[in-house]
A and B are shown apart, each in its own frame.
Chain A
Amino acid sequence: MASGVIESLRRVHRELEQVCEMLLRPSPEVLNGCEQRLVRATAEMEASRPAWSEAARDWQAGEQARLVRRSLHHAQRLLENAARFHAGWRRRRAAMNGEYRADGSIPDLRCPARIFVEG
């Protein structure tokens, strides 16, 4: 049964490595792709959960589980960095134009505690 767990963890690891690769050039489309891969990775982990205890004595399974966790933390750092960049970009944009668009309309992205005048 350990081989099944190892193979499942490998698939999760591959998904997460792909997420890391995709996050190098984040865009809304790329992030949607990442979301799908993360959903698949989560489903794969949950599906293999019942067999984990049977792989408890297998060092290869342990090593593969650690690799999965390392990739996840890698992806987490890249996601946080990109989110921080765009959050800062948004604050900067708000400081430049009060979040109004060039045609005078208000943005779809509302800021809390900010009053927008329409019309």
Chain B
Amino acid sequence: MSNLLASLGVAAGALDAFTQVLQVTQNNVANASTPGYARQTQTLNALPFNATFGDTGGVKAGAIESSRDEYAETAVRQQNVLLGAASQNVSSLTSLQTIFDISGNTGIPCALNNLLQSFSAWGQSPTDPNARQLVIDRATDLAGAFNEAASSLGTVAQDAEQQIGTTVTEINQLVGQLQQYNTQIMGGDNNDAGLDAQVHSTLEQLSQYGDISATQQENGSWTVMLGQTQLLVGAQQYQISNDMEEPSNPPPTNANAPPLAVIRGADGTDITSTITTGQLGALLNFRNTVVPSYIGDAYQQGGLNIMAQQLADRVNGLLTAGNVSDGPPAQTGTALFSYDQTNATNVAQSLTVNSATTADQLAAIDPGPPEVSNGVPLALSALANPQSAADEIDGVSYTSYYGNMASNVGSLLTDATNEQQVQQSAVAQAQNLRQQSSGVDLDQEAMTLVEFQRAYDANSRLISVLDQVTEDAVNIISVTTG
């Protein structure tokens, strides 16, 4: 009778254990689409069986084990950081590219071409008041085009500043959520699969913004870092902040230059230089490096300002060296352009045609000797195809200089778009590897790793060969196609 009761007890225990297995399985199915959820397994432990000593055997439910692997989770987050940076670069550079039209139909290239043509037409009829007025009108258009480009670049810079602020807020909010999860975990929810899923989903979201690292402590809580900066330790959150600041070390060479974006840790330390990747790193690079290369900062004038100043100075120099009339006394010419002389980074924005300048004040006569009646407009029209260094900027014509700036933006955007495409597949690959590696059998894995190593070596060798062959192909085929 006692044996029968023992058998019934074993069967009842087994039923309990299998009920728990079913519950875990049901939970896995129910959470199949829950972000961050990792499949769980109910372990079963055999009970001792020895009929002589009355051990009835059977099975009991053991611990519930998660298939989550932190190594694979980290690999996904690392790829997410790079995707965040690539996507932000595409977005920022797309807005920049719209300012630099290289079709020649609008903006600076169109206005510059029109002004150079008006110089040429004036050279054909140096005394024609209409030809002189056309020069003034075209110069006004060019100044307006510079103003508009500088203003648009300023807007792009402001947008980047706003996005930096929004990104910092989002980072702080996500870390705030993690802080709440930490509080729950430290309060006793250490094995809650739902909470674990929320933590990992939040970490994955956070990783697109910057170089986030997360380590789990013995008490189950998570410590989160942004580069070398602590964001979360236990229940303590350290908020970062953003600011705009004019650099002081080394002392600025440009007075009144636009300030730079700065990120600060919770203690006020400037951590900007440590944030080099992710969406925030890309935004900082765009705002503090890419945009200033066109509109300047405390240490550089910016390509657009350099072009506006050198063009204005060259045109003004030729006009004021010429004569409006032979006289006597000879009447010298008037400068066409003016700009803010106090701020080297404000030239393009402030470039204007002197409102008091009239057509009859434009000097056409080069006093020589020998005197040339249309010498000044001829010298001005030579700016289109410079023959001397004085008519060049950075060794090229003004048109080419602008074209180089525009093509640089286009090239950066092409690179960023390619990088985004590669990084999208790298994230997908890391997610698949995470799925493949969850809950693998270590023995089986050892066999697979041997095969993997052989296959990687073989593929790498072939890639190296193809790299050389395709480089040869590009060099030979593209040699005359640019």
B418 beta carbon closer than 8 Å to chain A: yes
Q: Which residues of A contact B455 (CB under 8 A)?
A: 28, 31-32, 34-35
- For the complex, give the distance between the alpha carbons of A67 and B433 in Å: 27
Q: Which residues of B contact A45 (CB under 8 A)?
A: 466, 469-470, 473
Contact assessment for B462 and A39 in the assembled complex, using a CB-CB cutoff below 8 Å? yes
A3 beta carbon closer than 8 Å to chain B: no
Contact assessment for B481 and A58 in the assembled complex, using a CB-CB cutoff below 8 Å? yes
Contact assessment for A42 and B450 in the assembled complex, using a CB-CB cutoff below 8 Å? no
Cβ distance A23 to chain B, nearest Cβ, rounded Å: 7
Cβ distance A75 to chain B, nearest Cβ, rounded Å: 7
A80 (CB) vs chain B CBs: closest residue: B460
Q: Which residues of B contact A93 (CB under 8 A)?
A: 442, 445-446, 449
B446 (CB) vs chain A CBs: closest residue: A107
Contact assessment for B442 and A57 in the assembled complex, using a CB-CB cutoff below 8 Å? no
Contact assessment for B474 and A69 in the assembled complex, using a CB-CB cutoff below 8 Å? yes
Q: Which residues of A contact B479 (CB under 8 A)?
A: 56
Residue from A34, A81, A92, A99 in contact with B426 in the complex, judged by beta carbons closer than 8 Å: A81
Contact assessment for A81 and B470 in the assembled complex, using a CB-CB cutoff below 8 Å? no
Contact assessment for B443 and A62 in the assembled complex, using a CB-CB cutoff below 8 Å? no
Binary interface encoding of chain B residues 431-463 relative to chain A, with 1 for a CB under 8 A from any of its CBs, else 0: 011001100001101111111110110111011
Q: Which residues of A contact B470 (CB under 8 A)?
A: 12, 45, 65, 68-69, 72
Contact assessment for B456 and A83 in the assembled complex, using a CB-CB cutoff below 8 Å? yes
Number of residues in B with C-beta < 8 Å to the partner?
50
Q: Which residues of A contact B426 (CB under 8 A)?
A: 77-78, 81
Contact assessment for B476 and A108 in the assembled complex, using a CB-CB cutoff below 8 Å? no
Binary interface encoding of chain A residues 92-119 relative to chain B, with 1 for a CB under 8 A from any of its CBs, else 0: 1100110101110001110000000000
B134 beta carbon closer than 8 Å to chain A: no
Contact assessment for B429 and A81 in the assembled complex, using a CB-CB cutoff below 8 Å? yes
Number of residues in A with C-beta < 8 Å to the partner?
63
Contact assessment for B460 and A28 in the assembled complex, using a CB-CB cutoff below 8 Å? no
- For the complex, give the distance between the alpha carbons of A79 and B352 in Å: 56
B403-446 contacts to A, CB under 8 A, are: 418, 421-422, 425-426, 428-430, 432-433, 436-437, 442-443, 445-446
- For the complex, give the distance between the alpha carbons of A55 and B79 in Å: 39
Contact assessment for B458 and A35 in the assembled complex, using a CB-CB cutoff below 8 Å? yes
Contact assessment for A24 and B447 in the assembled complex, using a CB-CB cutoff below 8 Å? no
Contact assessment for A52 and B459 in the assembled complex, using a CB-CB cutoff below 8 Å? no
Binary interface encoding of chain A residues 31-71 relative to chain B, with 1 for a CB under 8 A from any of its CBs, else 0: 11011001101100110010011011111011101101110
Contact assessment for A31 and B481 in the assembled complex, using a CB-CB cutoff below 8 Å? no
Cβ distance B68 to chain A, nearest Cβ, rounded Å: 14
- For the complex, give the distance between the alpha carbons of A45 and B474 in Å: 12
B50 beta carbon closer than 8 Å to chain A: no
Residue from B448, B460, B477 in contact with A61 in the complex, judged by beta carbons closer than 8 Å: B477
A68 (CB) vs chain B CBs: closest residue: B470
Q: A42-B462, A42-B469 are in contact. Are A52 and B476 (CB under 8 A)?
A: yes
B440 (CB) vs chain A CBs: closest residue: A89
Q: A56-B480, A57-B480, A79-B463 are in contact. Are A31 and B456 (CB under 8 A)?
A: yes
Which A residues have a C-beta under 8 Å from some C-beta of B? 5, 9, 12, 20, 23-28, 31-32, 34-35, 38-39, 41-42, 45-46, 49, 52-53, 55-59, 61-63, 65-66, 68-70, 72-79, 81-83, 85-86, 88-90, 92-93, 96-97, 99, 101-103, 107-109
Some 18 contacts from A to B, beta carbons below 8 A apart, are A26-B433, A31-B452, A35-B455, A42-B469, A45-B470, A49-B469, A56-B479, A61-B481, A62-B482, A73-B422, A74-B421, A78-B422, A81-B430, A83-B452, A89-B449, A93-B449, A108-B446, A109-B446
Which B residues have a C-beta under 8 Å from some C-beta of A? 71-72, 75, 79, 418, 421-422, 425-426, 428-430, 432-433, 436-437, 442-443, 445-453, 455-456, 458-460, 462-463, 465-467, 469-474, 476-482
User: What 6 new A-B contacts, CB under 8 Å, besides A56-B477, A82-B429?
Assistant: A23-B425, A24-B429, A62-B474, A78-B422, A83-B456, A102-B442
